[in-house]
Amino acid sequence: AGAQRVFSGIQPSGVPHLGNYIGAIRNWVQLQKTCGNNVMYSIVDLHALTVHQAPLLLKRNIKNMTVCLLACGIDPKQSIVFQQSQVPEHCELMWLLSCQTPNGWLNKMTQWKSKGATDNKSFVNIGLYAYPILMAADILLYKATHIPVGADQLQHLELTCDIAHTFNSRYGVEFFPKPQPLLSEGKNQRIMSLRNPLQKMSKSDNQEMARIDITDTPDQVHNKIRKAVTDCTSAVTFEPEERPGVSNLVSMYSALSGKTTDEVVEDFTGKETVELKDGLTQVIISYLKPIQEKIIELEEDEGHIEQILTDGARRARERASVTIRGAKELLGI
């Protein structure tokens, strides 16, 4: 519908897991087809800095995330793939927008309230507090209209709309379009932890057995799925409320096989959960195989990855500089 401009970001925090893949990355790949060359994906390393990062590991993680995105099907010929810190206009716009944002708005952010204000063990910094404004800058810098996000980012996207609205009404023009969410954790796309199916699969879960990383070997996949928490009923059904464990396995099976959850349940009528686990293990292994082969191929050519990021940053800056010029003009600087 019209000229959709898509922007999304992912933090360089290690290898993506199946939740990231099914809930986000796979949709990003799809959007390349529907939105032509109006799709931008950023490795948001500046956001990662809100918590302490070991420098060498961060550097490696930025490369790794780029490699993983490309291996999953993000095509730098169709989308602009870039590293956030290589486009200094993100920080520049952040400042301009910070001066339009009352801090009362930031105080209301539930992520800040839960992570920042209460976590006295870690070093809480201004960056963590202000990061929703950086996120607003990421989006508004490219006048993006459609933002693939997880449900936990919806409040930040609303803040982005409020900031855009404030700017527009103060300076009397519709300078920033109002971005709208493309919810990535749609039906059956929210993948739950293998150890506790009431929690979502997450990188921040310290238990490695709780998630499947896209680089996991067949043995690792086999082990993790075999030990995945289910319940004492052995039949295969899809009842996310009553039977979250087995339903999560059905969801994963469905997402990767292209079958509906009903079809998966049908395929396993009269069979036991252990057979579902075996089937799912095979589905995951064969799904990940070509992605893993591509990762190895890309890792062999580091210069190529660097070239893609340099190119992406150059193309992003062409667009970003136009926005900065326009915003400064309106502000009178």
Residues that bind ligand ADP (CB under 6 A): 10-11, 19-20, 22-24, 149-150, 184-185, 189-191, 200-204
The answer to whether 203 is a known catalytic residue is yes
Residue placing its CB nearer to ligand ADP in the complex, 143 or 156:
156
Taking the complex as a whole, how short is the minimal distance between the CB of residue 73 and ligand ADP, in angstroms? 15
The answer to whether 200 is a known catalytic residue is yes
Residue 99 and residue 140: Cα distance in Å, rounded? 15
203, 259, 271, 294: the catalytic one is 203
Distances in whole angstroms, Cα of residue 90 to Cα of each of 116, 248, 265, 294 = 23, 38, 47, 31
Distances in whole angstroms, Cα of residue 144 to Cα of each of 114, 189, 257 = 28, 24, 32
Quick count: other Cβ atoms within 10 Å of Cβ 162? 16
Residue 314 and residue 80: Cα distance in Å, rounded? 9
What are the structure tokens assigned to 173, written together? Answer: 């023009």
Virtual torsion, Cα 212, 217, 218, 221, nearest 10 deg:
-20
Taking the complex as a whole, how short is the minimal distance between the CB of residue 260 and ligand ADP, in angstroms? 18
Residue placing its CB nearer to ligand ADP in the complex, 125 or 202:
202
113, 121, 178, 200: the catalytic one is 200
Provide the β-strand partners of residue 272. 235
Residue placing its CB nearer to ligand ADP in the complex, 197 or 312:
197
115, 259, 271, 294: the catalytic one is 115
Taking the complex as a whole, how short is the minimal distance between the CB of residue 199 and ligand ADP, in angstroms? 9
Taking the complex as a whole, how short is the minimal distance between the CB of residue 178 and ligand ADP, in angstroms? 20
What do you get for the CA distance between the two ends of the chain, in Å?
36
Residue placing its CB nearer to ligand ADP in the complex, 68 or 163:
68
Active-site residue numbers?
115, 200, 203
